[in-house]
Amino acid sequence: MVIIKSDQEIATMRKCGKILRAILEKLITEVRPGIKTGQLDVIMAEESEKRGVIPSFKNYRGFPANLCVSVNDEIVHGIPSERILQEGDIVSLDAGVKLNGFHTDAAITIGVGQISKEAEDLIRVTEGSLKAGIAQAISGARIDDISSAIQSYVESRGFSVVREYTGHGVGRDLHEDPPIPNFVIGKGFLLRKGMTLAIEPMVNAGDWHTKLAANQWTVLTADGSLSAHFENTIAITDNKAEILS
Ligand code: MG
């Protein structure tokens, strides 16, 4: 069931999303060759506490960390660890926080030091596809309009969209209806004012197929190619969508 939020609830999510964005900005400044992904998780915990929010991912269905850190061929759900980031890696930071009963969710992929032309292109196209999807997120349109915009943006630039994982509604729960695929699957829900959605294209440089790591969490590209991930939480309004995170 799709939950429509009141203006007051959206105001809480707006505040929550601003804090999340500030935490992500802080994390971005910490990404450099030589840092362990586990150190980013510690920073996520510290920054959340300092700013009065709760990391949404910790213990979500048993997830063991505050933050998802996915490197290179890891698509999503990378678990922070002793892994040391190297010059040329790309790293996806996916975070959610909860404030006064409401979650927001966001992700970004960035390069570690100097990265390859392919990696740069992949990151730029993934971010562009998120913008293209959000541009379609207007009251009266359908989920499919978002999915179609993302898929065609990505595929026309020679990359592929992950099929097995999708965006989602977000608010009182981290994952609410409706699912938001990054590929065309059917018309989907009608978008209405007050819907709050996490739109999150996951884009592979190679084939779209995925595999699960031995830790049963981390999702990797099946062919070992690079993957990037961008995500915003948005609210559907009468006009263009408002970006909350
Ligand atoms: Mg999400």
C-alpha 163/C-alpha 208 separation (Å) is 7
Backbone φ and ψ of 119, nearest 5°: -65, -40
Q: Which tokens hold the place of 129? A: 């596809």
C-alpha 85/C-alpha 103 separation (Å) is 29
C-alpha 175/C-alpha 156 separation (Å) is 30
Distance 113 CA to ligand 1 centre (A): 26
Distance 36 CA to ligand 1 centre (A): 23
Distance 164 CA to ligand 1 centre (A): 13
Is residue 230 predicted with pLDDT exceeding 90? yes
Domain boundaries, the chain: 7-240
Per the listing, tokens 């294209």 go with 201
Per-residue CA distances from 16 to 67, 206, 211, 235 (Å): 16, 35, 33, 13
CATH architecture of the domain covering 7-240: Alpha-Beta Complex (3.90)
Nearest partner of 139 among 243, 235, 17, 244, judged by Cα: 235
Distance 156 CA to ligand 1 centre (A): 24
Residue type, 200: E
If pLDDT is split at 50, 70 and 90, which confidence band does 105 have?
very high
For residues 106 and 57, the answer to whether their CB atoms sit within 8 Å is: no
Average pLDDT over residues 52-81: 98
Is residue 186 predicted with pLDDT exceeding 90? no
Distance 140 CA to ligand 1 centre (A): 23
Instruction: For residue range 36-60, list pLDDT tens digits in order.
Output: 999 999 999 999 999 999 999 999 9
Summary mean pLDDT of the chain:
97
